[in-house]
């Protein structure tokens, strides 16, 4: 189990109704994964967050990831899709 800081930007912040929160997640291994965070966010925020996560990404330790098996860091940014990129 680990507590992480999740920071939301643009449409992700709108879907969550906040800019940031602390979440405690249970991991399958030594640390929770992107997949565990994705599942928690979908359960908490439903369809609005699903729309963001469908084409958005996770920023973990300065690296963009969509890999559900990747371990999370202490701070994870939820980024919506960006135009032109």
Which tens digits make up the pLDDT trace of 12-21? 999 999 999 9
Share of the chain above pLDDT 70, in %: 93
Whether residue 71 has pLDDT greater than 80: yes
For the chain, list the domains and their CATH numbers: 2-79 (3.10.20.30)
Whether residue 6 has pLDDT greater than 60: yes
Q: For residue 24, what are its two tokens?
A: 């405690």
> Residue 30 to residues 15, 25, 44, 70: CA-CA distances in angstroms?
29, 11, 24, 12
Is residue 26 very low, low, confident or very high in pLDDT (cuts 50, 70, 90)? Answer: confident
């Amino acid at each position: 189990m680990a507590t992480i800081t999740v920071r939301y930007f643009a449409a992700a912040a709108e879907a969550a109704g906040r800019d940031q929160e602390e979440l405690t997640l249970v991991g399958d291994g030594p640390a929770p994964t992107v997949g565990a965070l994705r599942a928690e966010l979908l359960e908490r925020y439903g369809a609005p967050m699903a729309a963001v996560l469908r084409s958005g990404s996770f920023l973990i330790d300065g690296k963009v990831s969509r890999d559900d098996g990747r371990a999370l860091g202490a701070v994870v940014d939820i980024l919506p899709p960006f135009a032109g990129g």
